[in-house]
Structure 1
């Protein structure tokens, strides 16, 4: 379930006034009047690049911890706003992108250019799945509420994007 278009955008002063809102709104990215989900996903790219220095195991644990934290922080922000899954809550996009980009942790890029292409491919794939919400993403989005409900659709979009990215990387490596 998402917020209705008539829901007024909360003022920036409110979002910047609590840690829960600030984090849930992607450190301010969710305040964008244009495509806040895309802006939140853009915030995830430097987060991924920093986290890519971790081992794949530590990366997976960190993403799992961020998911659990995200369930709480997004749920708390939504509760404080009184709106479930307000469009400006984008911490879920950050975690979803980190999942989508996870296959990049398993390859050794041949160059900075190859890394940039992989990062961009993860971005595009994640945004496509997050926007289109194919089954079961849309089904879950409509039925599960609270912080877990806010997070789970983006996690699944990230998993679907990661699967396609992994297949593409595997195919390219076998050529």
Structure 2
């Protein structure tokens, strides 16, 4: 029995399919507990690859990850027949990349950014919770994490202003 066959919706996906592989956060969305946290962890190597880029290139790639995420999440959701299944974690990947825009260098800032993003993604203060409940499809799956990423970005930049 493979990991995907444990859940009827997941059984409809294949890690060999590039869209499914990305939607599942390179497979991290299959974690039995806290798949969103594992999906956010999966974003760290991607962030580390992008961090040395100039700000315009970093923002461009982050924007591509968000725009592609609308399609990736929508396709995986439709293939599964379930809206916003917990295993779909590409939205968390994109959310962390947003959080880390123009972040100061250093592992401490990555840890703070990670914690802030998870805080906003889990707590879902208004209007994140409202968007999560009211907006559907790939856009709906992504938009609450995009907003959580923006909230986290603003907090991280505020902390950096005072402490970096």
Query: Does the TM-score normalized on the shorter chain lie above 0.5?
Result: yes
Number of residues of Structure 1 aligned to a counterpart in Structure 2 = 158
Match of 1:131 among 89, 114, 122: 122
Q: How far apart are the structure 2 equivalents of 1:16 and 1:61?
A: 27
Structure 1 residue runs without a partner (length 5+): 1-6, 110-114
- Mapping of 1:1-175 within 5 angstroms? 8=8, 10-11=10-11, 14-104=13-103, 107=104, 109=105, 115-173=106-164
Give the structure-1-normalised TM-score: 0.86
Runs of 4 or more, structure 1, over 3 Å off, are none
TM-score, length-scaled by structure 2 = 0.92
CA drift at 1:60: 0.5
What SS does structure 2 have at the residue aligned with 1:72? helix
List per-residue Cα deviations over 1:83-135 (Å, max 9, x = no partner).
0110000000000000111131xx4x4xxxxx110000000000000000000
Q: Is the 8 A contact 1:24 1:90 kept in 2?
A: yes
Gaps of 5+ in 2: 1-6
Query: Secondary structure of 2:26's partner?
Result: helix
